[in-house]
Amino acid sequence: MTSSGDPPPTRKRVAVLGSTGSIGRNALAVAAAHPDVFEIVSLSAHRNVELLAEQAARFGVRRVAVGEATPRRPFPDGVAIGRGRLALERLASDPGVDLVVNALVGAAGLAPTMAALRAGRTLALANKESLVMAGELVGRAAEAGGASLVPIDSEHSSLFRCLRGIPRTEVAGVVLTASGGPLRDIPASEIADAGVDAVLDHPTWDMGTKVTVDSATLVNKAMEVVEARWLFGLPFERIDVVLHRESIVHSLVRLVDGSFLAHLGMPDMKVPIQYAMFYPDPPGGRFDDCPPGALGTLHFEPVDFDRYPCYGLVLDAARRGGTSPVIAATADEVAVAAFVDGRIRFGEIADVIAGTLSAVAPGDAPDVDAVLGAEEEAREAAGHVVGRLAAAPSQ
């Protein structure tokens, strides 16, 4: 209580989970551009503690979460350090936080998503695994906590914006655009042996390692279909994917009269990140002044799903429901790490997903514990599949 009649502080207090990754760094760039709007109060990183310490110093942050085995160095005294899942959940549900940006990679994002929503925090969600692994539970937690969940994924941010103010009776479905990823133009016969450098060289988007590999397998798009299913309450049959090489149209809403609504812009993740961070207020700043002529020529084509065997594996698992999508998403995470480490070939990512799905019996997913139990089991099984593939003589 101030005696001088000062207005109460109105800045949004923000926790950025996964602050050293691509999305996290962009979220901090948005906050730095609007210091009157955002106050960064906590950060987390799994491995890159040097950058995390630098970010904590730059934003005056006193609470961080790190991986289980991280040493105290390089953090100065006065910074409280938590470790592991519990620490992430604490930051996500902290009463001193208004907005949680969940930019964690993989299954680790689920527990903090649930913690933030149950506590009624606004959640800007980049971690798609939260919705893939436990979409229904996430939706229920948001409802129970009265929380807003705003997507950061560019396609879903666009749909979120297009769908605002349109009566649902006018919406026939949604269409996600796919760039086709880094391997879209190489001959199908060469895909299985694509190298790490080629796979990480995305034609339109500058993103983190996991999501870039997932773009090359189209697992990313399968996960985005599942995300859309839960974010917008649409059955799978009303969610389509179209190949759009330029990544200028971020998504389309299909209306009942057969026409479409689209949201266009340069492929820059700061746009959806900023939108989610300002929500429900209008976004604060303009990044690129894009003359309409610079949008160029736009192409749309059907996707050749035969080039992308992982897409069907992940989407079919999601359609089966229960813990099947948990198993598929976890297997993909393990497989992508093994590919980036040079342990398996690109084409074997699909083998790891398929092998894990047949090794682990799916079950119901009534709560987060069941989801995380299935995740643990799938992680172990996927590790075995990777071990077998890595030990096999290369052809």
Residue 138 or 389 having the CB closest to Mg ion: 138
In the complex, minimum distance from the CB of residue 220 to Mg ion, in angstroms, rounded to a whole number: 6
Residue 127 or 154 having the CB closest to Mg ion: 154
Query: By Cβ distance, which residue is nearest to Mg ion?
Result: 153
| Residue 193-232 contact track with Mg ion, rule CB under 5 A, x = bound | ----------------------------------------
Distance CA 98, CA 38 (A): 10
Residue 55 or 215 having the CB closest to Mg ion: 215
Instruction: DSSP letter for 302, please.
Output: -
In the complex, minimum distance from the CB of residue 278 to Mg ion, in angstroms, rounded to a whole number: 19
The tokens describing 119, both together, are 């506590």
Query: Scanning residues 150 to 189, which ones bind Mg ion (CB under 5 A)?
Result: 153-155
In the complex, minimum distance from the CB of residue 154 to Mg ion, in angstroms, rounded to a whole number: 5
SS3 for 254?
strand
Residues pairing with 176 in the sheet: 241, 251
Q: What are the DSSP calls for 161-207, one per residue?
A: HHHTTS-GGGEEEEEEEE---TTTTS-HHHHTT--HHHHT--SS---
In the complex, minimum distance from the CB of residue 78 to Mg ion, in angstroms, rounded to a whole number: 38
In the complex, minimum distance from the CB of residue 97 to Mg ion, in angstroms, rounded to a whole number: 25
Residue 129 or 155 having the CB closest to Mg ion: 155
Name the burial class of residue 257, with classes exposed (0-12), middle (13-18) and buried (19+) by CB atoms within 10 angstroms of its CB.
exposed
Query: Scanning residues 343 to 372, which ones bind Mg ion (CB under 5 A)?
Result: none
In the complex, minimum distance from the CB of residue 314 to Mg ion, in angstroms, rounded to a whole number: 14
The tokens describing 34, both together, are 């609007």
Residue 163 or 390 having the CB closest to Mg ion: 163
Instruction: DSSP letter for 95, please.
Output: T
Residue 92 or 241 having the CB closest to Mg ion: 241
Let me know: does 391 contact 343? Beta carbons within 8 Å.
no
Among residues 237, 171, 209, which one has the least CA distance to residue 20?
209
Residue 153 or 246 having the CB closest to Mg ion: 153
Query: Scanning residues 243 to 272, which ones bind Mg ion (CB under 5 A)?
Result: none
The tokens describing 201, both together, are 């060289």
> Which residues contact residue 345 at a Cβ distance below 8 angstroms, ignoring those fewer than 6 apart?
192, 193, 339, 394
Angle at 334 between CA 176 and CA 309, to 5 degrees: 45
Query: Scanning residues 95 to 154, which ones bind Mg ion (CB under 5 A)?
Result: 153-154
In the complex, minimum distance from the CB of residue 215 to Mg ion, in angstroms, rounded to a whole number: 8
Residues in touch with Mg ion (CB under 5 A): 153-155
